[in-house]
């Protein structure tokens, strides 16, 4: 395991310990006084009505999928950016082709109104 990886490993462990510790300590030390009124969901002071059990509108799903698609595309740019110097021109054109293909998809989605939030 080269030196950099130990750094990342230590950072991960430290973060996990601190975050986990805060959550665990809070639940242990904090006193709990559950009363029926307190446990009811908060609806601006009224009895809760009509929580949506059924399916949600399609619009939410559409936007989520588009986001994931272009987010993953972005993730692929990171390794390329690190090795940008030694890949040279070949790497550059390769990445532009990759981005071009996804751009066609983006234009298609935009054109079909998937981005409009009716």
Partner 1 sequence: MDATTTQAGGSANLETRDMMLNIGPAHPAMHGIIRVVAKLDGEQIEAADVDIGYLHRGFEKMSENVDFNGVMPYTDRLNYVSPLINNVGYCMAVEKLIGLQVPERCHYIRVIVSEISRITDHLTCVGAAAMELGAFTVFLYMIKAREYLWELVEKVTGARLTVSYCRIGGVKADLPDEFAGPCAEAFKETRKVIAEAHSLLTRNRIFVDRMEGTGVISQEDAIAYGITGPFLRSTGSEYDVRKDCPYAVYDQIDFDVAVGSKGDNMDRYLVRMEEMEQSMRIVEAAFEQMPGGPVLVNPETGRPISASEMVDLAKLGDIDAVAGGCAVTGPTLDGAGRDEHSSIATDEKRAFLPPKEDTYGNIEGLMRQFKLVMHGHGVRPPVGEAYFPVEGANGELGFYVVSDGAGYAYRVRVRGPCFAIMTALSKLLVGGSLADMTPTFGSVNMIGGELDR
Partner 2 sequence: MSKEPSFFTTRLGDAIGWARKFSIFQYPFVTACCGMEYMATACSHYDVDRFGAGFPRFSPRQADVLFVVGTISHKMAPVLTQIHDQMAEPKWVVAFGVCTCTGGFYDNYATVMGIDTIMPVDVYIPGCPPRPEFVLDGLMKLQDKIQDEHSSGKRPAPEARPDSLEV
Looking at the Cβ atoms of 102 and 109, the one nearer to partner 1 is: 109
The three-point CA angle 49-63-92 to 5° equals 155
Q: Which does 57 bind (CB under 5 to 8 A by kind): partner 2, partner 1, none?
A: partner 1
Among positive and negative, which fits the CA dihedral 29, 23, 41, 46?
positive
C-alpha of 10 from chain center = 24
107 with 70: CB under 8 angstroms?
A: no
How many angstroms separate the Cα of 39 from the Cα of each of 18, 71, 80? 29, 38, 50
Binding region for partner 2 (CB under 8 A) out of 30-38, 83-91, 93-101, 106-114: 30-38
Looking at the Cβ atoms of 85 and 118, the one nearer to partner 1 is: 118
Looking at the Cβ atoms of 33 and 117, the one nearer to partner 2 is: 33
Structure-block tokens of residue 83: 């090795």
Q: Which does 118 bind (CB under 5 to 8 A by kind): partner 2, partner 1, none?
A: partner 1
Of residues 52-81, which lie at the interface with partner 1 (CB under 8 A)? 52-60
* Contact residues for partner 2, defined by CB under 8 A: 31, 33, 35, 37-38, 40, 42, 44-46
* Contact residues for partner 1, defined by CB under 8 A: 43-46, 48-60, 117-118
């Amino acid at each position: 395991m080269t030196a950099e990886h130990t750094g990342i490993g230590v950072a991960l462990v430290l973060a996990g310990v601190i975050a986990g510790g805060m959550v665990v300590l809070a639940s242990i030390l904090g006193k709990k006084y559950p009363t029926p009124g307190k446990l009811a969901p908060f609806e601006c002071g009224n009895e809760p009505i009509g929580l949506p059990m059924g399916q949600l509108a399609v619009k939410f799903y559409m936007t989520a999928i588009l986001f994931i698609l272009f987010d993953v595309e972005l993730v692929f740019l990171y390794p390329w950016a690190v090795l940008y110097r030694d890949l040279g021109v070949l790497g550059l054109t390769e990445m532009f082709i990759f981005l071009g293909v996804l751009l066609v998809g983006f234009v298609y989605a935009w054109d079909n109104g998937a981005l409009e939030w009716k």
